[in-house]
Chain A
């Protein structure tokens, strides 16, 4: 049985073609619009990141210059003043008739020596001359030697890998992060062992801090770095952004590991 109007088949075929064509055209327009939007968003994101990096860089640089200024002032002014005070102190003639003066004199000299040592320590911590003269790894070794009480913690380093930071500022940033992490371990982990090692993994420097105390998991670190009171982690985070590095915390059966990944092309 045939329909009086034979064009119905043509109508179906034409209808399918037109609908499909319209939908596909619509889809293509949509995809190209979305791509343009995506590209725009990517560019915007790149701009935002560049701006953020600039701000962080400026903050880090100003922090470093302030540290240098304070270190210089402490070393050159306070240190010199205390040393001069010590010399004057040494030249004091004590009254031999009063034997009680001698222990006081000795105590005063001891305190002056301690103050000079502390000032020098603070000054070195604020602005490591070893870092400037002997490089990052020597500075880390020196920092660990001076800040760890060897009676309480067994500390050591294996820093024999090749690593050339792009600039002195970058080396300072790595040093500051290690300083902050070591200080955190000393302060919170109650560890008996602390070891810093490095490997060069295909152009990426991996600095590993191992300790056997109470460590953090990655999730805890992610939480802590957004807390108001975690200033140290914020400083680390800013420097990581600047160096385009990554930090991973893990707890394994033998102890806790903190892996700092830094690209060689700093």
Chain B
């Protein structure tokens, strides 16, 4: 049982994105049949992210499991984590901009640009994007911090806005899942380089916490993609 659990956790980055992908495919069929309303436009970056995460994490886990078979330097997956971090911030940044909340709009638009410039400078002068030994802790921690800022400003705006509450709010599920994920992982990302050098065993264990939070994120994304019906069929009588 423990072995199965450990195996599941080890491969969680590869299979967890399949949860929102399945949800998306299932609801897509219903949307085509007209049984569900179309997905809101702001969810397009989230759908793109789950597909990207699935492909990237499958490669990450595959390389890790086959690291002894694949010749160096191809048996390092750290650059994929860096790439994942960059793409994740751009896609979720796009998601927050697409929400069209008239709050800190300019700042929200500039964050991905600033992050991109930071990544270019960091990988140009201080770190290597294809570093064989380590992922970029600084990049991942900064990304987590920025995404946490995005999440908090979303809640602030929601608290102060006067709009009427809608029944089903996919954006809330996306933001909450993302918020939990980055809150848990901020310190893991920040100190992971140190940990992997000095406390390798602990680093492996703590990465399981990351994996659990990643599964949680995917569950929240799946919930966002499974929308509730908002328009009842016209000919049905709604009992009073």
Contacts and interface: CB of A to CB of B under 8 A. Distances in A.
Nearest to B185: A16
Interface in B194-240: 194-195, 197-199, 202, 206, 209, 234-235, 237-240
A41 B163 CA distance: 10
Nearest to B169: A34
Contacts of A24: 180
11 contacts: A8-B194, A12-B191, A12-B206, A19-B186, A23-B179, A23-B180, A24-B180, A27-B155, A34-B158, A248-B237, A259-B237
A19 B144 CA distance: 12
Interface string A1-42: 111000011011001100110111011001001100110010
- The secondary structure that dominates the A interface is helix
Contacts of A246: 237-238
A34 B165 contact: yes
Interface of B: 148, 152, 155, 158-159, 164-165, 176, 179-180, 183-184, 186-188, 190-191, 194-195, 197-199, 202, 206, 209, 234-235, 237-240
A248 B159 contact: no
Contacts of B199: 2-3, 8-9
B184 A16 contact: yes
Q: Top 5 closest A-B pairs, CB basis?
A: A15-B187, A3-B198, A23-B183, A218-B234, A19-B183
A12 B198 CA distance: 13
A219 interface: yes
B184 to A, nearest CB: 6
B235 A248 contact: yes
A82 B209 CA distance: 95
Nearest to B154: A30
A192 interface: no
B240 A244 contact: yes
A261 B238 CA distance: 10
A257 B37 CA distance: 27
A113 B237 CA distance: 48
Given A8-B191, A15-B186, A16-B209, A38 B165 contact: yes
Contact of A219 (B155, B202, B234, B237): B234
A250 interface: yes
A22 B180 CA distance: 10
Contacts of B209: 16
Interface string A230-266: 0000000000000010101010000000010101000
Nearest to B197: A1
Nearest to B239: A204
Contacts of A222: 234
Nearest to B160: A33
A19 B187 contact: yes
Contact of B152 (A8, A16, A26): A26
B46 to A, nearest CB: 19
Interface string A45-77: 000000000000000000000000000000000
A20 B184 contact: yes
Given A26-B155, A34-B165, A248-B237, A9 B184 contact: no
Contacts of B239: 204
Given A20-B180, A23-B179, 15 more contacts: A3-B199, A8-B191, A8-B198, A12-B188, A12-B195, A16-B187, A16-B188, A23-B180, A24-B180, A204-B239, A218-B234, A222-B234, A250-B235, A261-B237, A263-B240
B235 A218 contact: yes
A30 B234 contact: no
Contacts of B202: 9
A38 B162 CA distance: 11
